Amino acid sequence: MIWPFKPSRRKQIARIELTGAIAGNTRKHVLEALKTVEDKGFPALLLRIDSPGALWEILRRFTAP
């Protein structure tokens, strides 16, 4: 789920891709991927979401405390 881009410099940018319908366990998987990104020390993250509808509600859930 995490693919690093390899720019000309040594630092890498992590990328997380979500495709298809977002189900109830998606949040758990994304949080696990975010933990991996943090543990590996990536300086930046690109989150790509390709999902049909309800995007605003999903983003609100990810950022909710």
Q: Which amino acid is at 30?
A: V
Would you say residue 2 lies in a domain? no
- pTM of model > 0.75: no
How far is it, in rounded angstroms, from Cα 33 to Cα 27? 10
Closest CA to 48 of 25, 14, 23: 14
Would you say residue 59 lies in a domain? yes
The pLDDT tens digits for 8-60 are 556 788 898 888 877 778 888 888 888 998 898 888 889 888 877 666 666 77
* Structural element, H or E, at residue 46: strand 44-50
pLDDT, greater one: 45 or 63? 45
What is the count of structural domains for the chain?
Answer: 1
Would you say residue 21 lies in a domain? yes
Would you say residue 48 lies in a domain? yes
